[in-house]
Amino acid sequence: MKIGLEVHVALPTRSKLFCSCSTEAAEPNSSICPICMGFPGSKPMLNRGAVEAAMGIANALHCPINRGISFVRKVYFYPDLPKSYQITQMEGAVGSNGYLAIGEKRIRIRRVQIEEDPAQIIRDGALTLIDFNRSGTPLVEIVTEPDISSEEEMRSFISSLRSMLYYLGVDINKEIKADVNISMAETRVEVKNVTGIKNMIETLRFEIERQTELIRAGEEIARETRGYNEKSKSTQTLREKESDEEYGYVFEPDLTVFDIAELKFNEPVYANDVAVGLANGTDVSPRTVSEIIMLDRDSLRQIERLRGRHSLRSIIHGIERYKKYGRAGRVADKVLDNIVLLIEEGKEVPKEAIVDLESGKEARVEYSQLSDEQLDELINKYLEENPALVREYVKQPKTINLIIENIARGNGLHPKEVARKLMPILAKVAEGK
Amino acid sequence: MTSYIEEFNGIEKPKDYYDDLFVQLEKLNDEYHAFNVINKDADCGFLFGTKANICVKGFETDAGSKMLKGYAPSFNATAVERMLSDKRFAFAGVTGMDEFGFGTFGTNTEVPARNAFDKEYAAGGSSSGAAVAAALMKYHVSIAESTGGSIATPAALNGVVGFTPTYGSVSRYGLIDYANSLDKIGVMARSSEDARIVFDRIRGRDEYDTTCAVEKITSERRKKIFVINGMLEKADASIKTSFEKLLNRLGNAYEIEHVDSSMMEMAIAPYYIIAMAEASTNLAKYTGYKYGLMAEDFYKQYNEFFTDVRENFGMEAKRRILLGTFIRSASVKDKYYTKALVIRSMLIREMDRMLKEGYILSPTLPIKAPRIADVRKLSPVESYSMDLFTIPPNLGGFPHISFPYDYVDGMPLGAQLVTGHGNDYAILDFVKSWEEGFEYRYKTNLGEL
Ligand SMILES: [Zn+2]
């Protein structure tokens, strides 16, 4: 089985691909101008930011970066296309001949191209309404070779791709659109415009079943374009396969060859590889790490920040609890530090504790209870064993915090409790020095 | 020869100058159809008209097409914006043209302009109204546009200067596209000096047109003039005779060299292939529901709707849409379009080499001005072949200027001088010194002071 994908995602720019209209408008037809309306006389003006974002993606997909890029016109008539042609890319695409690794396997990337999104058609009874706000929004299309050979591979490809895109700033909450090409036998069947990952998987499942059935029955599989129906979870014939013949591509003469040698783009993060590196030498599996960091740069940052001081297992446990109980959308370093500390002390960290920490209060957790005598003994013993820290304290009174932390952590004690007893003792010891 | 712009702005005008002028102009325009729209509000400054494919905010800019009837743009073309922001100039109106620029004689539109020397004769195209306006009025310049000769041809037929600058030196923002890689905004005027003043006003970089990147313009004089043998042969005998006289006169100051150029001789085919391929994509946007002509019946299937509304294109436009669409289709693209692009770059190389050494001079047209009735008898291919001389510099994006050099049977003849990319001032200088020994003739001098 051969599966190829043509994945479309919106590039993260504030303005449109060929004009300065905003990409974030609510009121229909409020973010439009002569350029994105295709008015006679208007010309496209290429958005550098979109090119840079697409270059970052092409680079992450291991495409050799071309020096110059160019555009073509793809001509077809549909009410959502104001110029009756879409400006897209072919030979002069931002990237080509790359790959994305899924485990040991490489899925080859044929092309990474920039193109403009058409307007949005809204059906309202017998009326067809057009909202041009979307017209000219920058998209990147990633075309793979038919190297994917199972549902499992398609899942890991999409998940790696999504993670890579996420780390390059692509908003993954905006839906991914894809054309899915599936050939069980010789004939290629294309399912157009499948929206969302769930539907992509459903499309594949349906087509595998449908084509297998046809093969079993000795029937021929038609070379055609199909559409996916979300309600019936099935695909239907849209039209006979149209060829490039009808699009009549020509070079877009208004943009010429755009030199991209000077443009800057971000370096990629491959979460799976990063996870392997982080998990190396720990008792945590790379898979666990990758699940956490795949679509969460904040968690990756926290792991990297705390890695030298705490065990990976505690950090991940802390992040999970924080994400589960904390206020959504923000991770405060200090709160997480405390959560991880508590975990390392062997404490369970309940929801209340996290709520406390987030509001700057002390966490409600259980501490060992010692008598004053036991506590004094413990402190004195620690100070005897660590004369260097005491000397350090004399020079640098701030060192007291470290001493408190160490004693509290090592014995499951409340830091305040330790501090109360430690201060007079330390003062006396210091005086003697 | 002086500048009419400077002369005009130096003279005190009578109080009712503009009112009187517009009354007379309207009368004259009923005969010659130079203008589609006259801006009677103009009351200060030297008048300039714009070809009907150059957007002027609030004025009908129909590109000579029924498909754009009533289309009044919401923005000014960059060239127009630059003219309007200069107090020396005032907007006179919109001049007529062949539909979308498709024509050599100005007849491919509903109401064709008439030749300023004789109404029975073709005005030339596609910037027909622009040339006629310049020839009718003493104090007027026309902002026009050339794709394959649309400035030089009508300028020659109406006895005015037609200057087409280097591709990319004047912004095309606001120009209604014919073939984007060929379209150039230029100037038609009664003197080379006025063409230069307007050129300097409108040229230079513009962030709204990526292809507008030529900033530096030079005036490197050449001592040699090339004449292309194989092309001159194709001109009518009477044209050849007059042109030989011109060469004789220039022989004192320049070394005249007759050469062959296979690339220039075969330029018509690649030109029409590229122009039609691009044009057919540019015309795709006219679908009768956003601007210009509005469809009456919207309750149709999309395909049926588009097909019906696009019936309103003229014959020549339909021909170019069909041919252009065919040329672009995948199975023949390499045979025509891709090959045409290759020939185009070969042509540029060949001409570049020659133009480093000298100018290229030719008649602007291979024939005298034809009668309108005779133009209508020409087959499309015969009509396309009239662009023989104007196509090579247009296809290569080279600056060229058509200037009147003789009058035969009361009709003007134009010669076309070509130079290298960015050397635009050199050919303006050339015509300026030519003008010193040449007397322009006009039938009317509307607005004379
Ligand atoms: Zn816009």
- pLDDT 10s digits, A293-304: 999 999 999 999
Contact assignment for A41 to B208 by CB distance below 8 Å: no
Q: What is the mean pLDDT of residues A343-368?
A: 81
Kindly give the residue spans of alpha helices, DSSP state H, lying in A326-385: 333-344, 351-358, 372-385
Q: Do the Cβ atoms of B139 and B4 come closer than 8 Å?
A: yes
Residue B416 token pair: 């076309």
Query: Best residue in A46, A74, A77, A85 to probe B by mutation, most B CBs within 10 Å?
Result: A77
Q: Return residues with CB closer than 5 A to ligand 1 (ion).
A: A 19, 21, 33, 35-36
Task: Measure A47 CA to ligand 1 centroid, in angstroms.
Answer: 12
Task: Measure A95 CA to ligand 1 centroid, in angstroms.
Answer: 26
**Which tens digit of pLDDT belongs to each residue from A373-400?**
888 898 989 988 988 888 888 888 888 8
Residue B439 token pair: 């007397």
**Residue linked to tokens 């660590």:** A386
**Which tens digit of pLDDT belongs to each residue from A26-84?**
899 999 999 999 999 999 999 999 999 999 999 999 999 878 999 999 999 999 999 99
**Which tens digit of pLDDT belongs to each residue from B7-30?**
999 999 999 999 999 999 999 999
The distance of B205 to chain A (nearest Cα, Å) reads: 13
Closest among A197, A188, A99 to A143, alpha carbons compared: A99
**Which tens digit of pLDDT belongs to each residue from B345-403?**
999 999 999 999 999 999 999 999 999 999 999 999 899 999 999 999 999 999 999 99
Per CB-CB distance under 8 Å, the chain B contacts of A46 are: 210
The distance of B344 to chain A (nearest Cα, Å) reads: 14
What percent of chain B clears pLDDT 70, i.e. is strictly above it?
A: 100
**The one-letter amino acid at A428:** K
Please give the mean pLDDT across all residues of chain B: 96
Q: Is the peptide bond before B142 cis (omega within 30 degrees of 0)?
A: no
Query: Best residue in B208, B210, B300 to probe A by mutation, most A CBs within 10 Å?
Result: B210
Point out which residues pair with B122 in neighbouring strands: B114
Helical packing angle, B339-357 and B268-282, nearest 10°: 120
**What's the pTM value of the predicted model, to 2 decimals?**
0.89
Residue B136 token pair: 């009718």
Which of B63, B284, B287 comes nearest A75 by C-beta?
B284
> Residue ranges of the domains in chain B?
4-224+348-436, 265-341
CA distances in angstroms from B282 to A86, A255, A257, B239, B332, listed in the order given: 12, 14, 19, 36, 20
Which of A39, A45, A249 comes nearest B291 by C-beta?
A39
Positive or negative torsion for Cα A334, A336, A341, A345: positive
Task: Measure A86 CA to ligand 1 centroid, in angstroms.
Answer: 15
With cut-offs at 50, 70 and 90, classify the pLDDT of residue B255. Answer: very high
Residue B144 token pair: 């026009």
**Which tens digit of pLDDT belongs to each residue from A174-219?**
778 999 999 998 889 999 999 999 999 999 999 999 999 999 999 9
Which CATH number applies to B4-224+348-436?
Answer: 3.90.1300.10
Residue A419 has a CB neighbour count (10 Å cut-off) of 18
Which amino acids of B are annotated catalytic? 51, 126, 150
Contact assignment for A40 to B287 by CB distance below 8 Å: no
Q: What is the pLDDT of residue A329?
A: 67
With cut-offs at 50, 70 and 90, classify the pLDDT of residue A347. Answer: confident
Q: Regarding beta strands A177-183 and A138-144, do their DSSP bridges make them parallel or antiparallel, or are they unpaired?
A: unpaired
What value does the CA radius of gyration of chain B take, rounded to a whole number of Å?
Answer: 21
Residue B65 token pair: 């097409």
The A residues from 44 to 73 touching B (CB cutoff 8 Å) are: 44-46, 73
Which of A37, A41, A248 comes nearest B325 by C-beta?
A248
Task: Measure A245 CA to ligand 1 centroid, in angstroms.
Answer: 30
Helical packing angle, A400-411 and A387-395, nearest 10°: 150
Per CB-CB distance under 8 Å, the chain A contacts of B290 are: 37-39, 82
Note whether A255 contacts B: Cβ–Cβ < 8 A.
yes
Residue A61 has a CB neighbour count (10 Å cut-off) of 23
Contact assignment for B285 to A83 by CB distance below 8 Å: yes
**What dihedral do alpha carbons A274, A279, A280, A281 form, nearest 10°?**
160
Does this complex have an ipTM over 0.85? yes
> Residue ranges of the domains in chain A?
2-174+239-259, 271-358, 372-432
With cut-offs at 50, 70 and 90, classify the pLDDT of residue A244. Answer: low
**Residue linked to tokens 């993060």:** A269
What value does the CA radius of gyration of chain A take, rounded to a whole number of Å?
Answer: 29
Q: Chain A: residue nearest B307 by CA?
A: A77
